[in-house]
């Protein structure tokens, strides 16, 4: 099969690598890809939002399947575009993608179908929002309504921080803002919970724990994700049933009532409070870096899974997982998530010797004349499978230290909640 993968991050390199391992693959094209994907696929320099040009490429290369990595094209309707041309594409349609594209869409769905989530208010201008928070109990959560690359969430401990958050959102920090969402703060532990669905049936696709804050001890600004581990230590049979019955199935039923279904990866960002799940937000694709953490644990043929979703026969497929623990550390450019330098040479990758349980996934990288340079805030992902999280983290850090990239920064405490020092 000839396959196109849309995207250029660490998630897309992990997707590409797992697809590459399937015997059914003839050739993979990454649009646009990165330095890592160029080793196992052909990178194609096309804009992932220019569907007409991508369609011409797909016709010319006789592409059999498109896999969409990032959220933006999904929310814009890339799946609808190519399904209308009778091309296999893996991901949810435009309506279903509003679960991520609009936090307000999701909150209203939660309200209608009694899905447990934080109490909330919707405000269409800064004046109304500030009036509300002036008499609120703190801490509170302030969220940009649309896509914000995982960064449009503020946990505000006092009025001043809430006012700054509201001003930044309405001043366009995350694009045009028509509304701001203000929620109660839930005290608990976060968990990333994934399913894969063909639109008729679904299967659980493991759990993970992300680390959003840039600083150790979960301090500092929000990022796209500084690392993750899988599986989450929070999951148990009782909680799993509650997540399915109270959150996942009512959501899928709500989409069905809207005249659509969900095909692809659904990622529920949850807060667990005394073994009760609350929905924080939905993403309509694999998380990043959760994807780089979960996919190495998958023993089943990944392409078979994707094709079963496109063909509507996922219920016939069994998913087999490695029982080892998985931990991923993200190496960033110094200064991220604020200002950082691009085009800094990365010369030490040949120093790292990997076995089959160790992976380096590229994210913000680019290859020029066989030399690799940084090309983004999150640059490389170091993932290790091991018998426990502590040894996995030790091995990942060891690889990062061997790289010896002077422009890099990473958190040394990924997994601190499950690793006893």
Q: Each residue of 281-319: pLDDT tens digit?
A: 999 999 999 999 999 999 999 999 999 999 999 999 999
Q: Each residue of 55-108: pLDDT tens digit?
A: 999 999 999 999 999 999 999 999 999 999 999 999 999 999 999 988 889 989
Q: What angle do CA 104, 109, 115 make, to 5 degrees?
A: 115
The answer to whether residues 104 and 287 touch, using CB atoms and an 8 Å cutoff, is: no
| 189-316: CATH number | 3.30.470.20
Would you identify the CATH topology of the domain 325-409? Answer: 3.90.600
State the helix-helix crossing angle for 10-20 and 302-311, rounded to 10 degrees.
100
The answer to whether residues 396 and 421 touch, using CB atoms and an 8 Å cutoff, is: no
Q: Where are the domains of the chain?
A: 2-91, 119-184, 189-316, 325-409
For the segment 354-372, the average pLDDT, to the nearest whole number, is 96
Distance CA 337, CA 339 (A): 7
Q: Each residue of 207-226: pLDDT tens digit?
A: 999 999 999 999 998 899 99
Position of tokens 């150790």?
Answer: 216
Long-range contacts, 71-75 (Cβ 8 Å, 24+): 71/97, 71/100, 71/101, 71/147, 71/283, 71/284, 71/285, 72/48, 72/147, 73/6, 73/48, 73/49, 74/100, 74/264, 74/284, 74/285, 75/100, 75/101, 75/147, 75/284
Alpha helices for 119-227 (secondary structure H): 126-133, 159-170
pLDDT > 90 in the chain, percent: 80
- Rounded to two decimals, the pTM is 0.92
Identify the CA nearest to 68 among candidates 30, 42, 102, 109: 30
Distance CA 348, CA 363 (A): 16
Would you identify the CATH topology of the domain 119-184? Answer: Dna Ligase; domain 1 (3.30.1490)
Q: Which helix (H) or strand (E) holds 7?
A: strand 2-7
pLDDT of residue 49: 93
| 2-91: CATH number | 3.40.50.20
Q: Following DSSP, what letter does each residue of 199-235 receive, concatenated?
A: SS-EEEEEEEEE--EEETTTEEEE-S-SEEEES-TT-
């Amino acid at each position: 099969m000839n396959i196109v993968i849309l995207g250029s991050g660490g998630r897309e390199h992990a997707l590409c690598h797992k697809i590459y391992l399937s015997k059914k693959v003839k050739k993979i094209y990454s649009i646009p890809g990165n330095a890592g994907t160029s080793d196992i696929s052909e990178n194609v320099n096309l804009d992932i939002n220019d569907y007409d040009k991508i369609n011409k490429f797909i016709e010319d290369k006789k592409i059999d399947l498109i896999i969409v990595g990032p959220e933006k094209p999904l929310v814009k309707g890339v799946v609808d575009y190519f399904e209308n041309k009778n091309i296999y594409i893996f991901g949810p349609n435009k309506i279903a993608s509003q679960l991520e594209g609009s936090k307000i869409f999701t909150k209203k769905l939660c309200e209608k179908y009694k899905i447990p989530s934080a109490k909330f208010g919707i405000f269409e201008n800064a004046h109304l929002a500030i009036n509300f928070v002036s008499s609120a109990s703190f801490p509170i959560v302030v969220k940009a309504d649309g896509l914000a690359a995982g960064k449009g969430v503020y946990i505000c401990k006092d009025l001043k921080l809430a006012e700054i958050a509201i001003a930044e959102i309405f001043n366009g920090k995350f694009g045009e803002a028509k509304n701001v969402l203000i929620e109660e703060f839930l005290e608990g532990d976060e968990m990333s919970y994934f399913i894969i669905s063909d639109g008729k049936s679904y299967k659980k696709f493991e759990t993970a724990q992300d680390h959003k804050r840039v600083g150790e001890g979960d301090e500092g600004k929000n990022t796209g994700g500084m690392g993750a581990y899988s599986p989450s230590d929070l999951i148990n049979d009782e909680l799993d049933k509650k997540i399915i019955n109270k959150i996942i199935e009512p959501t899928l039923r709500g989409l069905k009532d809207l005249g659509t279904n969900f095909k692809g990866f659904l990622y529920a960002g949850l807060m667990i409070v005394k073994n009760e799940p609350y929905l924080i937000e939905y993403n309509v694709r694999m998380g990043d870096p959760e994807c780089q953490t979960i996919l190495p644990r998958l023993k089943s043929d990944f392409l078979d899974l994707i094709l079963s979703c496109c063909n509507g026969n996922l219920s016939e497929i069994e998913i087999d997982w490695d029982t080892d623990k998985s931990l991923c550390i993200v190496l960033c450019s110094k200064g991220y998530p604020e200002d950082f330098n691009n085009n800094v040479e990365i010369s030490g990758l040949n120093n790292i010797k990997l076995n089959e349980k160790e992976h380096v996934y590229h994210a913000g990288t680019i290859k020029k004349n066989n030399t690799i340079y940084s090309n983004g805030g999150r640059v490389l992902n170091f993932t290790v499978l091991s018998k426990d999280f502590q040894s996995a983290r030790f091995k990942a850090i060891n690889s990062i230290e061997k790289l010896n990239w002077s422009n890099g920064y990473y958190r040394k405490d990924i997994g601190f909640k499950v690793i006893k020092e």
